[in-house]
Structure 1
Amino acid sequence: MKVVIGDKKDTLRKLSQTHRMELKNLLSWNPHIPDVDAPIDGVIVYLSPSQAKTAAYNRPVAPPCPPIPAPLKPMPQWISLTPLEKMEKTDYDVLIVGSGAGGGATLWRLCEQWGNNGKKVGVVERGDLLLPTHSQNIPTLDFKRRTDFYLTVATPIGAKLPDMPGSLKVFALGGKTLFWWTVTPRMDEVDLQDWPVSFTEMNKYYNIAENVMNVNKRFTKGSSMTEQLVERLRNNHFPETTPLPLAADLQPTRFGQVHSNVFFSSILFLARALFIRPFDLAVKTRGVEVLTERNRVVGLRVMTPDKKSHYLKAKNVVLSTNTFETARILLYSRIPGEAIGHYLANHSKIVGVGRVSRGDFPEVLGSMGILVPRTAGRPYQIQFHGPMDTPDLYLWYPAYQEKPLKAEWEFDIQTFGVVESRYENRVYLDPSRVDEDGIPEFQVDFQYSEKDLEVIRQMEAGTRQAIADMGIATLVPDEYGQDLCLRPPGDDTHELGSCRMGVDPATSTTNPFGQVHQISGLYVADNSILPTAGAANPTLSTVALAIRTADYIVNRLG
């Protein structure tokens, strides 16, 4: 017998005498009995070392953990998606078409203003899931790989547009903001003078947009290259020169608050919205046709890659696709409006490469990010990015990528010019061609005016003057012997104006709040709403106006 259970009169000492065993052995085999003379009534006593070891091994030291529960809601990807079959059963208060800068800003502002109040909000995106953040935040993508990836996934729609051959589009959740350069200047006051929104009102919404997008001019702070060249330009013909404003979160990660998404994309709008309230989201879902009854929106027809149509009910629809697609949806939906598709504009674009000597700058060389903004007397803006070691650009680069030591550095030059908003420049449906979904394709009529060509001449002269004012920079000829060249229309990726806002339905598509004239509940919130091009990159202005449109919807719906 190797195990006994003590009775009322037993002690460990008594058991050692009864079984003729050493007391010290019984103590070592029964550590649960601390006193040899303590009563052990009902207590298990081990009379052999092997039995004691087995018992100790099997005896739990804490209760077993409960099983890990199954997920309440399966989530096979990094953001929750909603089946279209479910969305068809929902009556949405607001349905947003497109998830780029304008669509994302509209979604965030609606959620931020409403909180979790029970309103139904849905988003449909033509593209699929691609990246969960801006491409520059992906560790494996340096500038060259990022560019190669962008050119691989982008759709060269300009191949079918003789008048805008440089146009590229990204159909994916987050749209083109997954790849944009995050340059975020405001429109100059001279360009806002004829807008139907006051300068004061635009400043209010610029402030909101800059705050939510982390816009700042600190990215190149401490760079001798940027600071010295900015000072040289300011002291000569360009006193307004400034470090490049970028949508970049430069806060350090601390106290558990993670700031790993440095460069802004619309994915951050989705994230900000998601942590406020739930919303429905479907990808690979193309918005095709707005449904109306008695001059009011009632829903949207969408199509999936299998060519099936689904009909979504909505009291309000916000079109945030892009300048071409939004115009096409309105035209195909037979929305009345003389100006729809007209007043298409972009920015003329001159590019070149400059060169400086490393010896002209003290440590720390740093990155070059410089903006010469548009002014009343200067109908263009110039951007300088660098340094550059073709094909890599070191305005931004991974911390673990080695930056080479060079005696001379090159830098990128991009000059954007004001283009007139003219009725003749337009997006229209081409009845002779339909796409893979059976929808008429769009075509573009676009030409630079004589005034636009004069601006282009000023752009070239101004760019050469800026290089001269730097004093230590030269232009680098390309393989054709050209040091500056004009890129084809569309290469700027700043198409805008085809659904411009205004007060006159004869010359505008929407009212000053983005609502389409004559159709209650139908809104536009992308680059197409901008009434004039100016020279500034359009994303910040589009986001500001989208936030303003969201506020208007909130005030109307309560």
Structure 2
Amino acid sequence: MITLKIYIADDGDTLRTISRKNGAELEDLLSLNPHIARPDLVITGNQVKLPDASTSTRDRTPVPSCPPPKLTYQEQWIPLTTLEQMERTYYDVLVVGTGAGGGAALWRLVQQLQNSGKRIGIIERGGLLIPTHAQNIATLDFESRNSYFNSVAVRRTDFATQFVYALGGRTLFWTATSPRMSLADMAGWPITVQEMDNYYNIAEKAMNVTQSFTEGASITQILLDRLQQNGFPESIDEPIAMNLQPTSRFGVINSNVFYSSLVLFAQALNGAYDLAVNARAVQVLTDKDRVAGVKVMSPDKKSYYLKARNVVLSASTLGTAQILLNSDIQGRAIGHYLSTHSRITGAGMVNRSEFPEVLGPLRILIPGTGDRPYQIQILGPGPYRYVQYEIQPLQAEWGVTFAASGKVESRYDNKVTLDPLKRDEYGVPEIQIDFSYSEQDRAVIQQMGDAVKRASSAMGVPLIERDGQPFCLVPPGQEVHEMGTCRMGDDPISSATNRYGQIHGMRGLYVADNSVIPTSGTASPTLTTAALAIRTADYIVQQLK
């Protein structure tokens, strides 16, 4: 029962002054005296109800102090797991490598196995470098990005390819060109065209592949029209893996325009997986005809034995072959059929006065076909093929780059083997590469040269000669499109994996990187690698159910 007292307001009193005189809360007085409209209204002579002091205190709801915030700290921009922790876990799937294939496989596995209780792990040979594609970083324009890449890339002397040992691998720096293989390129593959079309659709959606980057760029649209009208009707706006959605839409912020596999790592964080970096996979562990896990070494050369029911090798065309060969995994084709693209480059010049005010970026692709065993990329103007933070200066002429990629024959003698005399710092035999162009390859190179001349003429972009030549052949491997050392196929004699990327005769051991691509074709391989990796992940999921 609430006890009240009656107080007669003195001359000039208000509820506020009465609360001070009687030690009552103003809120209580306002509640008990609803007939008094305002706390500062003069109410001389009026009766005012006062709460009993004990009652007021008893009925008031206590407000506790907020507890101190619980602070957590994460050293890196992505959650990491130690090798000690991973060694204590039995994984349903363990992925080795974090580039285009490893990232796509991880994303699909987490997506399909979410809430299933399955354990997924992934390891990376290198460390953490940058948290996004280099082109998304404000301080790196086209030229400085290339300079930074050259400072972190690892090069070979016997084959001109380059490696980036870091989370995300070479997808941190790639050009993002993402064409599909043509039907002619996939002839003889152990996968139907319809199935590849389905997985290309999935990969393109995951990687945000678009042909709209150059929409409204006058230099691209005018030169593209000239090509299509003058002998190259298949020419298209180059498909590029870029997220062109508005920066913010429906509360979702799109901050990674250029695609790297880190985009899929971020999406996979909606599920659960363990990630360890600076973890060099040196050997696949087996139990008779079944995979058992992977031997991994840390930078201090300590060995860890990670147990897994399924292992997916995505360590690159050369790296995956090295691991398999060092593990004594049997297979006549393992390490063989090394392929890449032959590449010639040239430069032309356009007159700025031929184009309207908005020049924009130049990105055109002449794709390969059954009659054209090469593709041609036409890029520019100058270094402004990605117009991002810089403003194109006003100048009378602009350079145009021609880059043609030719199909290379798959031959058994082009191979990766272990060097019996050289070992790296982890005690793993180093690889030696035997590669040469065949007569057929050289014929394609000649065709590419002729085609670049015709394309430049069709566009009205005269080629610039250097040392008397309008273009040159780059060293094998420099295009960074190596493929084939674990090629897929139905015949274990001429292929390393079956149609799902599983090593012939070894249950639970899969490959998901450029090395499974059976024939080089003409298209840049990254989109195809991602599509095949997603397909392999789907197959593994079905085996786990």
Q: What TM-score comes out, normalization by structure 1 length?
A: 0.89
3-state SS of paired residue (2:543): helix
Map 1:91-170 → 2, pairs under 5 A: 91-156=90-155, 158-159=156-157, 161=158, 164=159, 166-170=160-164
Deviations 1:197-250 (A, max 9, x none): 111111111111111111111000111111111111111121100000001111
Residue 476 of structure 1 pairs with residue 471 of structure 2: no
Deviations 1:139-171 (A, max 9, x none): 111112211111111111x23x2xx1x211001
Tell me the CA shift for residue 23 of structure 1. Answer: 4.8
Contact 1:12 1:26 in 2 (8 A): no
Corresponding letter in the other structure for 1:154: A
Q: Look up the match of 1:186.
A: 180
Q: Look up the match of 1:83.
A: 82
* Residues in 2 aligned to 1:63 and 1:457: alpha-carbon distance in whole angstroms: 83
Structure 1: gaps spanning 5 or more residues: 1-6, 17-21, 45-60
Contact 1:103 1:320 in 2 (8 A): yes
Map 1:9-20 → 2, pairs under 5 A: 10-13=7-10
Q: Look up the match of 2:473.
A: 486
Task: Pick one of 230, 237, 256 that aligns with 2:251.
Answer: 256
3-state SS of paired residue (1:230): helix
Task: Pick one of 367, 377, 387 that aligns with 1:397.
Answer: 387
Map 1:53-452 → 2, pairs under 5 A: 63=63, 66-71=66-71, 74-156=73-155, 158-159=156-157, 161=158, 164=159, 166-252=160-246, 253-275=248-270, 277-388=271-382, 393-399=383-389, 401-452=390-441
* Residues in 2 aligned to 1:216 and 1:327: alpha-carbon distance in whole angstroms: 33
* Residues in 2 aligned to 1:207 and 1:8: alpha-carbon distance in whole angstroms: 79
3-state SS of paired residue (2:377): strand
* Residues in 2 aligned to 1:248 and 1:492: alpha-carbon distance in whole angstroms: 21
Tell me the CA shift for residue 8 of structure 1. Answer: 4.7
* Residues in 2 aligned to 1:258 and 1:357: alpha-carbon distance in whole angstroms: 39
Contact 1:342 1:497 in 2 (8 A): yes
Relative distance call for 1:9 and 1:419 in structure 2 (3 A) is closer
Number of residue pairs matched? Answer: 517
Q: Look up the match of 1:54.
A: none
Relative distance call for 1:355 and 1:432 in structure 2 (3 A) is same
3-state SS of paired residue (1:355): strand
3-state SS of paired residue (2:212): coil
Deviations 1:273-302 (A, max 9, x none): 111x11000001011100001110011100
Contact 1:11 1:40 in 2 (8 A): no
Tell me the CA shift for residue 309 of structure 1. Answer: 0.4
Corresponding letter in the other structure for 1:270: F
Tell me the CA shift for residue 474 of structure 1. Answer: 1.3
Relative distance call for 1:195 and 1:373 in structure 2 (3 A) is same
Q: Calculate percent identity across the aligned residue pairs.
A: 51
Task: Pick one of 479, 497, 511 that aligns with 1:524.
Answer: 511
Corresponding letter in the other structure for 2:69: P
Corresponding letter in the other structure for 1:38: V
3-state SS of paired residue (1:509): coil
Contact 1:502 1:508 in 2 (8 A): yes
3-state SS of paired residue (1:406): coil
* Residues in 1 aligned to 2:459 and 2:242: alpha-carbon distance in whole angstroms: 27
Task: Pick one of 442, 452, 455 that aligns with 1:453.
Answer: 442
Contact 2:6 2:48 in 1 (8 A): no
* Residues in 2 aligned to 1:498 and 1:364: alpha-carbon distance in whole angstroms: 46
* Residues in 2 aligned to 1:474 and 1:29: alpha-carbon distance in whole angstroms: 92
* Residues in 1 aligned to 2:537 and 2:249: alpha-carbon distance in whole angstroms: 33
Tell me the CA shift for residue 397 of structure 1. Answer: 3.2
* Residues in 2 aligned to 1:41 and 1:506: alpha-carbon distance in whole angstroms: 96
Residue 462 of structure 1 pairs with residue 451 of structure 2: yes
Q: Look up the match of 1:501.
A: 488
Q: Look up the match of 2:34.
A: none
3-state SS of paired residue (1:474): coil
Contact 2:346 2:401 in 1 (8 A): yes
3-state SS of paired residue (1:398): coil
* Residues in 2 aligned to 1:9 and 1:115: alpha-carbon distance in whole angstroms: 67
* Residues in 1 aligned to 2:165 and 2:74: alpha-carbon distance in whole angstroms: 23
Deviations 1:451-471 (A, max 9, x none): 111111111111011001112
Relative distance call for 1:68 and 1:527 in structure 2 (3 A) is farther
Contact 1:477 1:483 in 2 (8 A): yes
Contact 2:363 2:379 in 1 (8 A): yes
Moved more, 333-342 or 250-259: 250-259
Tell me the CA shift for residue 64 of structure 1. Answer: 6.6
3-state SS of paired residue (2:254): coil
Corresponding letter in the other structure for 1:397: V
CA RMSD after TM alignment = 2.2
Contact 1:12 1:40 in 2 (8 A): no
Tell me the CA shift for residue 67 of structure 1. Answer: 3.3
* Residues in 1 aligned to 2:392 and 2:62: alpha-carbon distance in whole angstroms: 55
Corresponding letter in the other structure for 2:434: D
Deviations 1:95-115 (A, max 9, x none): 000011101111111112222
* Residues in 2 aligned to 1:42 and 1:153: alpha-carbon distance in whole angstroms: 77
3-state SS of paired residue (1:432): strand
Deviations 1:40-62 (A, max 9, x none): 46569xxxxxxxxxxxxxxxx99
Deviations 1:239-280 (A, max 9, x none): 1000000011111122211112111110011112111x1100
Tell me the CA shift for residue 364 of structure 1. Answer: 2.3
Tell me the CA shift for residue 9 of structure 1. Answer: 6.1
Moved more, 129-138 or 94-103: 129-138
* Residues in 2 aligned to 1:178 and 1:262: alpha-carbon distance in whole angstroms: 12
Deviations 1:109-145 (A, max 9, x none): 1112222210010000011111111111111111122
Relative distance call for 1:41 and 1:424 in structure 2 (3 A) is closer
Corresponding letter in the other structure for 1:128: G
Tell me the CA shift for residue 12 of structure 1. Answer: 4.9
Relative distance call for 1:29 and 1:9 in structure 2 (3 A) is closer
Relative distance call for 1:29 and 1:95 in structure 2 (3 A) is same
Q: Look up the match of 1:38.
A: 48
Relative distance call for 1:427 and 1:66 in structure 2 (3 A) is same
3-state SS of paired residue (2:529): helix
Relative distance call for 1:228 and 1:41 in structure 2 (3 A) is closer
Tell me the CA shift for residue 510 of structure 1. Answer: 0.2
Corresponding letter in the other structure for 2:388: P
3-state SS of paired residue (1:543): helix
Q: What TM-score comes out, normalization by structure 2 length?
A: 0.91
Contact 1:88 1:310 in 2 (8 A): yes
Contact 2:361 2:387 in 1 (8 A): no
Q: Look up the match of 1:48.
A: none
